[in-house]
């Protein structure tokens, strides 16, 4: 009986201590959240960020998020144009666009989609069933899917800058 009382007392003490720890964490999170809100009050609005981004890329805004990049608060404005999604980063304090993804794309996309498809078809005979330009980890690539005459599918990733096959994968 005494053993049960000791276990119950120890368990109660553990729960109470855990509660104090949780309360302290919530207090710190609330303080941090208040600091962020105070900083955000000095930021340009989402609408202002959208306007700045639309000056760089003419299209329509799909999404706007406030985030920290490299220690700086920025709006990530996603703009759809011509079947491609561009991300324009806008300084949350100044409202100035920090990048030009259209210019960046022109500098890094040197081969056309048709050329990339021909490169893939030279490796595997078949029909192109899907072909898209995408940006992965800062690098523009063509993702191409080919279906062979026997019905197998082959996926390619081809550098949009060099035309080099980066990946060739047969689907199971």
C-alpha distance across the termini of the chain, in Å: 64
Q: Do domains 46-99 and 109-170 have the same CATH topology?
A: yes
The residue extents of the domains of the chain are 1-41, 46-99, 109-170
What pTM does this model have? 0.66
Least confident of 61-65, 76-80, 136-140, 167-171: 136-140
Confirm if 8 and 58 have CB atoms less than 8 A apart.
Answer: no
Q: 91-142 pLDDT, tens per residue?
A: 999 999 999 999 999 999 999 999 999 999 999 999 999 999 998 888 999 9
CATH 3.10.450.40 for domain 46-99, yes or no, is: yes
On the CB side of 12, CA atoms within 13 Å amount to 6
- Cα 167 to Cα 130: distance, rounded to the nearest angstrom: 16
Cβ atoms of residues 120 and 143 within 8 Å: no
Q: How high is the pLDDT of residue 28?
A: 47
What is the pLDDT at residue 23? 53
Residue 41: the pLDDT is 74
Domain 109-170 in CATH 3.30.420.40: no
Task: Please report which confidence band the pLDDT of residue 1 belongs to, taking 50, 70 and 90 as the band edges.
Answer: low
The CA angle 166-168-172, to the nearest 5 degrees, is 150
């Amino acid at each position: 009986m005494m053993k049960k009382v000791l276990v119950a007392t120890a368990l109660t003490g553990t729960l109470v201590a855990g509660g104090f720890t949780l309360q302290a964490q919530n207090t710190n999170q609330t303080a941090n959240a208040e600091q962020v809100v105070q900083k955000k009050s000095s930021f340009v609005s989402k609408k202002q960020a959208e306007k700045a981004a639309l000056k760089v890329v003419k299209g329509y805004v799909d999404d706007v998020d406030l985030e920290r990049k490299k220690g700086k608060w920025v709006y990530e404005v996603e703009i759809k144009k011509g079947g491609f999604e561009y991300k324009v980063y806008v300084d949350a304090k100044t409202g100035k666009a920090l990048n030009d993804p259209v210019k960046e794309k022109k500098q890094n996309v040197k081969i056309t989609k048709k050329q990339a498809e021909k490169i893939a078809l030279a490796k595997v005979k078949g029909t192109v069933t899907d072909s898209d330009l995408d940006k992965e980890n800062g690098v523009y690539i063509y993702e191409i899917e080919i279906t062979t005459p026997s019905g197998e599918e082959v996926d390619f990733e081809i550098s949009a800058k060099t035309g080099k096959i980066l990946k060739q994968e047969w689907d199971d």
